[in-house]
Amino acid sequence: MLCEVKVEEVKNVLWQAIHYPITYQEKYEFCDGLRMIKIAPGYERTIENCP
């Protein structure tokens, strides 16, 4: 499991939550599902509209 704590609002937080675990799995040849937790003080409101 990856965990990241943001100290300020970031516009691409959703992209990071998808991209970082994939990159980590490829770099370290991690085969099992990898989860990521992001803690942030805010995020783009468009995330609420994702299906």
* Spans of all domains in the chain: 2-49
Pair 46, 9: CB distance under 8 Å: no
pTM beyond cutoff 0.75: no
Q: How far is CA 31 from CA 3, 7, 18, in A?
A: 18, 30, 16
CB atoms within 10 A of CB 5: 9
Which pLDDT score is estimated for 13? 81
Which pLDDT score is estimated for 1? 83
User: What is the gyration radius of the CA atoms in the chain, in angstroms?
Assistant: 12
Which pLDDT score is estimated for 11? 78
In this structure, what token pair is assigned to residue 46?
A: 């468009």
Return averaged pLDDT per consecutive 10 residues of the chain, 51 residues in all: 87 84 86 82 69 56
